[in-house]
Structure 1
Amino acid sequence: MTKSTRNPSELHERREQRLMLLLLAPALLVIVVLLVLPLLWLAWQSIWQDGRFTFAHYERFMTDSVYWLAFLQTFRIAAIVTLLTVVLGYPVAYVAAGAPQRWSILILTMVLLPFWTSVLVRAYAWLILLQRNGIINSALTGSGLIDAPLRLVNNEFGTVIATIHILLPFMVLPLYATMKKIPGELTMAGASLGGSPMHVFLRVFLPLSLPGLIAGMVLVFVLTLGFYITPELLGGGRTYMVSMLVSRNIEVYNEWGAASSISVVLMICVFLVFRLASLLIPFERIMGTR
């Protein structure tokens, strides 16, 4: 009797599994075609040249200082952008999460406004604002605060400012989503037990908002690693990031193998960033599944 009652349930479970696979098949096909196969092609290009296997591209990566300097500058800019987006984004998300609904909607709308404009247009807008005869320098010199225009563009400063403006929503939105789930009774309980506002924030609210904070930091950091248009326009050739190194190898030297090896190394670095984030906080908490 146990066997007869078990078989229908097992058959039903198998049917559900097959149905789920059929439903997932289109999405899996898209992932395989647009993500897995290009990554495998990159890995193959990095070790195959002139009809034979070679690790020459990786050897050049280990010995050429240009590669190391590009990676160091890219990671430094990514760290600076991530830190500044935390400083700017956390208070915005905190206010939006605690404000009445109409004010919360208004704050989030202002945060999301950059998404309605292309990255290229925003980069050119910052170029107009920050250039030597731009709006900011003209206002500062006209008011007498400075005697000569400041160098705000064609350097790392302009790249960082524009990148922060573009990526700030990726910090605010995960923080806001996490903060909205924090029960207000917890902070009230901490205050009723004699805790000061700063003590309650540091001991109650901040730890509970860590999943959103880590998620935002990972998003901003990883997206900054692959930025190309912003450093190209605002860096003026002085800000040399990994994406530009890949582009130069293809456009100038037609070295697909070298570009592929750089891409593979950068992909490994991204995986290590995700691994480090998962060690700090499990991805189940970051994604809000538990």
Structure 2
Amino acid sequence: MSLRIDRITLLAVPALGFLAVVYALPLVLLLAKSVQTPEGVSLTEYRAFFADDYNMRVLWRTLRVAALTTLLALAIAYPTAFAMSRARGGWLTVFLVAMVLPMSLGVVVKAFAWSILFRANGALNGALQWLGVIDKPMRMMFTEAALVVGAANVFLPFMVLPIYAVVRQLDQRLPEAAASLGATPMFRFFNVTLPLTLPGVVAGSAFTFSLAVSMYVIPSLLVGERQQTLSMLIARSFLYLRNEPLGSTISAVLLGIAVLVVVLSSWLARRLGART
């Protein structure tokens, strides 16, 4: 048995070696660069980053946009997942294609599509003027709202699919049993359906938040330089300022946020699993 396990483990060696070379090693070098100074190892760059008011505003904006994107995606994905779970035949195929097909398109394509919609002479402003809702074009491009809507659209499949996987396994007899005992629809939702689907919500929220907090292309195209995010600061530090320690420091902060999200979501998922 031990020999068989060792042979099976050896099959993972090529993949682990590949990850170590192309991912782990560059990451270690990046983290080392963030604490490397002419005087030796120091946290000077981290202290300077957190002491700068502009950096703190960018950090807060990044977290706020990621949180709003996650909430908007959740509000759309939750009922969508239930609709998919009840769909049969051709309708289920339509739902799955609608969720999976956009993932095959590049982020640049989808971001450009939203930029066309949000323009002053775009389809959205044109439709609102035609309906008489507005008299003149609204400013949509280069706003935080445009960024949240565009990002939520791009990352929506990463929210829908985990929730759908959980909802599909939900025993439909449980809400029916609660209804037979006199439970109202609201009571059934908050005390039966929602607790059972929370693992999917946590997983989808972790995916969406992690992607939204580190996105670069979408904010670059929809808000430009007017509203910087951490990923845009990283690009500016490396590409324009040629300040590798600063870029490495911001990258480490962004990595820490992503790791914290994964750890908290894993802990919450275990707690929810233990309760159910």
TM-score interval, smaller chain: over 0.9
**Percent of aligned pairs with the same residue?**
35
1:73 alignment counterpart: 61
Identify the match of residue 5 of structure 2 among 7, 11, 17. 17
For structure 1, list consecutive stretches of 5 or more residues without a partner in the other structure.
Answer: 1-12
2:245 alignment counterpart: 257
- After superposition, where does 1:95-174 map in structure 2 within 5 Å? 95-174=83-162
Deviation (angstroms), 1:182? 1.1
Deviations, residues 209-237 of structure 1 (Å, cap 9, x unaligned): 11100000000001001100110110132
> Are residue 209 (structure 1) and residue 204 (structure 2) matched?
no
Deviation (angstroms), 1:284? 9.6
2:177 alignment counterpart: 189
Runs (4+) off by over 6 Å? none
> Are residue 39 (structure 1) and residue 27 (structure 2) matched?
yes
Amino acid at match of 2:101: L
Would the alpha carbon gap of residues 20 and 130 (structure 1) be closer, same or farther in structure 2, given more than 3 Å must change?
Answer: same
Amino acid at match of 2:91: W
Deviations, residues 30-53 of structure 1 (Å, cap 9, x unaligned): 221222112101111111234733
2:168 alignment counterpart: 180
SS at 1:281's partner residue?
Answer: helix
1:10 alignment counterpart: none
CA RMSD of aligned residues (A): 1.9
SS at 1:71's partner residue?
Answer: helix
Residues 199 and 272 in structure 2, CA contact (< 8 A), matched pair in contact too: no
Identify the match of residue 48 of structure 1 among 32, 36, 45. 36
Identify the match of residue 211 of structure 2 among 218, 223, 226. 223
Identify the match of residue 248 of structure 1 among 220, 225, 236. 236
Count of residues paired in the alignment:
275
Amino acid at match of 1:57: E
TM-score, length basis structure 2: 0.93
Would the alpha carbon gap of residues 179 and 33 (structure 1) be closer, same or farther in structure 2, given more than 3 Å must change?
Answer: same
For structure 2, list consecutive stretches of 5 or more residues without a partner in the other structure.
Answer: none
Deviation (angstroms), 1:102? 3.0
Deviation (angstroms), 1:189? 2.0
Amino acid at match of 2:34: S
SS at 2:11's partner residue?
Answer: helix
Cα distance in 2 for residues equivalent to 1:216 and 1:113:
18
Amino acid at match of 1:191: A
Cα distance in 1 for residues equivalent to 2:126 and 2:67:
31
Residues 156 and 238 in structure 1, CA contact (< 8 A), matched pair in contact too: no
Deviations, residues 257-285 of structure 1 (Å, cap 9, x unaligned): 11111111111122222222233221895
Cα distance in 1 for residues equivalent to 2:171 and 2:126:
48
1:27 alignment counterpart: 15
Amino acid at match of 2:192: V
Rg larger in structure: 1
